[in-house]
Amino acid sequence: MSTTHDPSARSAWAWLVTWAALGSVLVAGLYLWQSNDPVAEAAGRGLQEMERRLTELAPQELNAPASKLAAFFTDKFVRPQTDMARVFTSGWGLLFGVIVPLAMTLLGALFTQAALSVTGGAAGGWRETFRVFAFNRLVAEALSIAFVLVVIALDWGLAVKFVLLFSGLPLIRIAVTVHLAVTLCEAHRPGFGRVLLLGVPGMIVSGCVTALLSLLPAAWFWLHCALAALLGA
């Protein structure tokens, strides 16, 4: 029998495509974190400035030896510390750009599926629950990445960018959380009672948590904008 019109086959493909797309977006988000790293940028610029100052302090006739001495000093003592800072901030981006979003998606789907199963069942099945959560995270991360790129590119003041980042990112998360609740209701038809007892409290808690967590990338990318403005001045 052909599986072309098999609902379970279409559901499996939708599940796989959604999770694959989510993985691609999370990788793009990680690249955004690492390519706009204010700590690494500050460490790199500080290293260049230190080498330049050490060279300038030496007498004119000692410029070449002083340059070599400055390079030796920075390679031996300073550069390892800046490399450690880059590794640390790369891990920071991996944690909050990939691991935390993915863990929240999986745990949210598991908890929701368990709660629905215990209280009367999930009409759409576990695969649909995980697909809905993955698609929701995909939308949230894609919108956040696009929003951050637009804010960084805007030639506006730091105060405006501060307001945009610290209000826009939480609002995106809250809006997507509401969309998640609506989509889950459409997928499983839980009924008014379960929506009231499970859906509304879960939506409020999830919205608050994701909104608060979004303040971290807001601070990260605003510091990048502030450093770029400072170094460009």
Which is more confidently placed, 230 or 233? 230
pLDDT at 151 over 80: yes
Three-state SS at 53: helix
- Residue 233 confidence class, pLDDT cut points 50, 70, 90: very low
Which is more confidently placed, 43 or 148? 148
Query: Token pair of 90, please?
Result: 């790369």
User: Exposed, middle or buried: residue 54 (CB in 10 Å: 0-12, 13-18, 19+)?
Assistant: middle
- Look at residue 45 and tell me if it is in a domain: no
- Look at residue 218 and tell me if it is in a domain: yes
- Residue 3 confidence class, pLDDT cut points 50, 70, 90: very low
Give the number of other Cβ atoms within 10 Å of residue 49's Cβ. 10
Tell me how far CA of residue 86 lies from CA of 43, 59, 62, 214, in angstroms: 8, 34, 33, 22
Cα separation, 155 vs 116, whole angstroms: 48
pLDDT at 105 over 90: yes
Q: What percent of the chain has pLDDT over 90?
A: 41
pLDDT at 1 over 70: no
Give the number of other Cβ atoms within 10 Å of residue 3's Cβ. 11
Lowest pLDDT segment from 86-100, 157-171, 215-229: 86-100
For 4, residues 6+ apart whose C-beta sits below 8 A from its C-beta are none
Residue position matching structure tokens 């506006």: 156
Sign for the CA dihedral angle at 60, 65, 71, 77 comes to: negative
- Look at residue 108 and tell me if it is in a domain: yes
- Look at residue 215 and tell me if it is in a domain: yes
- Look at residue 72 and tell me if it is in a domain: no
Identify the top-confidence range among 63-72, 146-155, 199-208. Answer: 146-155
Q: In this predicted structure, what is the pLDDT of residue 193?
A: 81
Average confidence score pLDDT of the chain? 81
Average pLDDT over residues 67-87: 60
Q: In this predicted structure, what is the pLDDT of residue 130?
A: 92
- Look at residue 63 and tell me if it is in a domain: no
Number of domains in the chain: 1
Cα separation, 89 vs 83, whole angstroms: 10
Which is more confidently placed, 34 or 78? 34
Q: What percent of the chain has pLDDT over 70?
A: 73
Q: In this predicted structure, what is the pLDDT of residue 140?
A: 95
- Look at residue 65 and tell me if it is in a domain: no
Report which DSSP code applies to 196. I
Residue 45 sits at the vertex; the CA angle it makes with 39 and 51, to the nearest 5 degrees, is 135
- Look at residue 175 and tell me if it is in a domain: yes
Give me the half-sphere count of Cα atoms (radius 13 Å) on the Cβ side of residue 189: 2
Cα separation, 184 vs 112, whole angstroms: 9
pLDDT at 214 over 80: yes
Domain holding 132, by residue range, is 15-36+91-232
Which is more confidently placed, 41 or 9? 41
Q: What is the pLDDT of residues 16-69, one digit of tens each?
A: 899 999 999 999 999 998 888 877 777 666 666 666 665 666 555 555 665 566
pLDDT at 2 over 50: no
Query: Token pair of 125, please?
Result: 């099945």
Please report, in angstroms and rounded to a whole number, the separation of the first and last CA atoms in the chain. 69
Query: Token pair of 175, please?
Result: 């809006």
Tell me how far CA of residue 59 lies from CA of 51, 63, 75, 165, in angstroms: 15, 6, 22, 48
For 223, residues 6+ apart whose C-beta sits below 8 A from its C-beta are 38
